[in-house]
Structure 1
Amino acid sequence: MLQILRPRASPVVLHAARLPFNVAPRYRSASTLAEDVRSDSTFRIPLIDFTAYKQATSLSEKRRIADDIVNGFKEVGFVYLTGHDIIASETIDRVFKKSAEFFRLPDETKGKLAWDDPRANRGYVKVGRERVSESSMSPAEIAALRTKAPDTKESMEIGREDHPMFRNKWPQENEAPEFRQTMLHFFQTCHDLHTMVMRSIALGLDLPEQFFDKKIDRQDHNLRLLSYPPIRTSLLAGDGQARAGAHSDYGTLTLLFQDSVGGLEVQNPHTKHYQPASPIPGTIVINAGDLLARWSNDVLRSTLHRVVAPPAQKISATEGMTPARQSIAFFCNPNFDAAIESLPTCTSASNPSKYPTVTTEQYIVGRLAATYS
């Protein structure tokens, strides 16, 4: 598979010939996205340049990009976004560097910051404690799956810093210099991008552009730093084993930053087969979560995805070792007290609301409580 380096500070020009087979730039017009995703051989994740939305001088110009984004979430549930200058490449590089430094800390040091409350959703999660899952699975099914095939990753969970009840769990400054300030700056820039993308989604769903602004402004988000340590291939050979099992995300959007190792796979909603979502320089992978799907009455898709092991390096005649992998996920959420009910433009007499009203907190805390041991 084509190996693509993580974005650097220099600008990247995206040529169609260099893109992974399952990605299409916005200018592709030979067939529609809806047609292409019905076959694994033509399945693609749309690549959208957000520059035109940010620089637009009229609502009609914004609407063209908004329609592309909404169409990507309708048909695939995922898009690659480029032109996202709100988050500089230097900032992303620094976050990866500080994340790697954190995970190299002794287990005893990280263990003092252990995750312990699904309402807070803050702190360190050791390898094997989490088992991500599908929204349809029961707590008992998730517990059985966690025992059989826990996710082979560790993570650090960071929430908004000014929460009135819950506090982030930070390492000491002498243990991880500049870790805290780096992550707080990144948290804010991710929120700013989330706000702009949600404005484009509002336009694409025939809502006022600022429709979501007051429903997402408290920044009840979750920044997750992820480390996938090297692992012997024999440990990944069991039924259901994966670096991160098939799952959907909980909130509105997820902003995913990948390193060059790769391993993310997206389920084709039509064939149910998984397709690679390879790293592309200068882009962020963005997918719709369960609450955005629910808000849109399933007009937008919360698509299953997973992380599989990349090709391993042979260490014996019968054994291999997968490379380490890093990624950073910013899980965007509505305000925790926001009432999530089907949007007026996504329902009709012939397509009534499928879901009862639920608050963000009720939904997310319930999912988190079932996810962790």
Structure 2
Amino acid sequence: MLLPSLTSLRSSAFSRKSLRALSSGSRYGLATIATGAEGFRIPVIDFAKFRTAKSLPEKKATADEIVTAFKESGFIYLAGHGIPTATIQDVFAKSAGFFKMPMEAKSKLAWEDPRSNRGYVAVGRERVTQSADADEIAQLRAKAPDFKESMEIGRDWDSTWKNQWPQESDAPQFKRTMLDFYQTCHDLHVLVMRSIALGLDLEESYFDAKVSDQCHNLRLLSYPPVTRSVLVKEGQARAGAHSEIDYGTVTLLFQDSVGGLEVQNPHNQVFHAAPPIPDTIVINVGDLLSRWSNDVLRSTLHRVVAPPAKKISETETITPARQSIAFFCNPNFSTEVACLPNCAGVNGQAKYPPINTEKYIVGRLAATYH
């Protein structure tokens, strides 16, 4: 039962002082930061060392840090990623403006098809869960839908599946901003996949041709203010605990200052807060990358819970609005995901049969939304 929890937020080893230290002149002086008393760690990794490296051994050092973290927790905070703060702030501002549009205007852009995976998703339509059973998901959605709305954006040059854009007069510069950001995130994805390849002792360019089609999903997320009485229904959460919603290679998550992300320690199943750290991106392993690596890299359960609420009466409180932006990185839809050559283990066995990327992702989307 996924109830919102303030205890887990308070248990975080972070403090305002430590957050300031991470963004101060010492420039990520702490190599790792604990998110729970059990010693579960999500490291802060300075990716500038990889981006500016002059030699392969220099790149390999950072790559090994990343892959080690993905083996242990499945999550990292990426600092020195090269995306300007002003760019991210502008995307957040344009996203907020979109969600403030009248429901009538947003509804004209409604998400319709899992193969397209583009358009506006109203509060309650999606229910993220580990289940792959469409009927079970439908029952969960009816009982306790995820309390959020989103806007889904794919590559804009697709000849079959078209993005759904608001009128320029309703959302000035929205389309241009999101398309530019989509390309920026793809470029970062390529670099991260190169680091993963090196960390797995593959050729640096191993994944390049397997992610070049940019079959990704840019998701703008808005969590409206909500009273606690709504959230404490059985099974209700801001977004359900999940790993399979992150279907692809990795996810780039941009958080606002409100927080609410929790990550499960895979060793004892305890959830721990992963608060926003200035100038970093949260990156986690997706299901297909985990499958590709024969589970050497972890696709870890995570969820979004309600942040601390404000009292509005003797019997009721309300949580603040929250925004986030997720860039779900995928292999090319034509790519066959099969066990990587050096991840089969000592017995040479693959845990999973090969699977086509498009078939897997479209199947998961169909179950999640329908």
TM-score strictly above 0.5: yes
Match of 2:288 among 291, 306, 329: 291
Work out whether 1:247 is the aligned partner of 2:216.
Answer: no
Q: 2: distance between equivalents of 1:356 and 1:98?
A: 42
CA displacement at 1:41 relative to structure 2: 3.0
CA displacement at 1:44 relative to structure 2: 1.5
Matches within 5 A, 1:222-301: 222-248=217-243, 249-301=246-298
Work out whether 1:122 is the aligned partner of 2:135.
Answer: no
Work out whether 1:353 is the aligned partner of 2:364.
Answer: no
For 2:101, the equivalent position in structure 1 comes to: 105
Work out whether 1:371 is the aligned partner of 2:353.
Answer: no
Match of 2:195 among 197, 200, 222: 200
For 1:94, the equivalent position in structure 2 comes to: 90
For 1:188, the equivalent position in structure 2 comes to: 183
Work out whether 1:157 is the aligned partner of 2:168.
Answer: no
Query: Is the 1:242–1:308 Cα contact (8 Å) retained in structure 2?
Result: yes
Q: Secondary structure at the match of 2:135?
A: helix
Q: 2: distance between equivalents of 1:212 and 1:368?
A: 24
The amino acid that maps onto 1:25 is L
Query: Is the 2:123–2:148 Cα contact (8 Å) retained in structure 1?
Result: yes
Q: 1: distance between equivalents of 2:41 and 2:337?
A: 30
Q: 2: distance between equivalents of 1:67 and 1:108?
A: 49
Label 1:348 to 1:75 Cα distance change in 2 as closer, same or farther (>3 A): closer
Query: Is the 1:4–1:280 Cα contact (8 Å) retained in structure 2?
Result: no
Q: 1: distance between equivalents of 2:272 and 2:25?
A: 21
Label 1:269 to 1:234 Cα distance change in 2 as closer, same or farther (>3 A): same
The amino acid that maps onto 2:98 is F
For 2:129, the equivalent position in structure 1 comes to: 133
For 2:5, the equivalent position in structure 1 comes to: none
Q: 2: distance between equivalents of 1:192 and 1:14?
A: 27
CA displacement at 1:12 relative to structure 2: 3.5
Query: Is the 1:40–1:271 Cα contact (8 Å) retained in structure 2?
Result: no
Superposed CA deviations along residues 128-170 of structure 1, whole A, max 9, x for unmatched, are: 0000111x54222211111111000000000000112100000
Q: 2: distance between equivalents of 1:137 and 1:314?
A: 38
The amino acid that maps onto 2:171 is A
Q: 1: distance between equivalents of 2:353 and 2:217?
A: 25
Q: 1: distance between equivalents of 2:42 and 2:198?
A: 21
Match of 2:30 among 3, 25, 34: 25
CA displacement at 1:40 relative to structure 2: 4.2
Structure 2 unaligned runs (5+)? 1-9
The amino acid that maps onto 2:46 is D
Q: Secondary structure at the match of 1:345?
A: coil
CA displacement at 1:14 relative to structure 2: 6.8
For 1:13, the equivalent position in structure 2 comes to: 24
The amino acid that maps onto 1:273 is V
Work out whether 1:76 is the aligned partner of 2:73.
Answer: yes
Superposed CA deviations along residues 107-126 of structure 1, whole A, max 9, x for unmatched, are: 00000000000000000000
Query: Is the 1:40–1:268 Cα contact (8 Å) retained in structure 2?
Result: no
Q: 2: distance between equivalents of 1:206 and 1:223?
A: 30
The amino acid that maps onto 2:222 is S
CA displacement at 1:351 relative to structure 2: 4.3
Superposed CA deviations along residues 145-204 of structure 1, whole A, max 9, x for unmatched, are: 111110000000000001121000000000100000000000000000000000000000
Label 1:341 to 1:146 Cα distance change in 2 as closer, same or farther (>3 A): same
CA displacement at 1:217 relative to structure 2: 0.4
The amino acid that maps onto 1:333 is N
Task: State the percentage of identical aligned residues.
Answer: 63
Q: 2: distance between equivalents of 1:13 and 1:309?
A: 28
Q: Secondary structure at the match of 2:226?
A: coil
Query: Is the 1:3–1:260 Cα contact (8 Å) retained in structure 2?
Result: no
Query: Is the 2:132–2:364 Cα contact (8 Å) retained in structure 1?
Result: no
Query: Is the 1:122–1:169 Cα contact (8 Å) retained in structure 2?
Result: yes
Normalised by the length of structure 2, the TM-score is 0.92
Q: Secondary structure at the match of 2:110?
A: coil
CA displacement at 1:348 relative to structure 2: 4.0
Structure 1 unaligned runs (5+)? none
Matches within 5 A, 1:51-70: 51-70=48-67
The amino acid that maps onto 1:227 is S
Query: Is the 2:150–2:220 Cα contact (8 Å) retained in structure 1?
Result: yes
Query: Is the 2:194–2:206 Cα contact (8 Å) retained in structure 1?
Result: yes
Q: C-alpha root-mean-square deviation of aligned residues, in Å?
A: 2.1
Q: 2: distance between equivalents of 1:12 and 1:266?
A: 22
CA displacement at 1:25 relative to structure 2: 3.2
Q: Secondary structure at the match of 2:233?
A: coil
Q: Secondary structure at the match of 2:277?
A: coil
Query: Is the 2:132–2:367 Cα contact (8 Å) retained in structure 1?
Result: no
Superposed CA deviations along residues 286-340 of structure 1, whole A, max 9, x for unmatched, are: 0000000000000000001000000100011110000000000000000001000
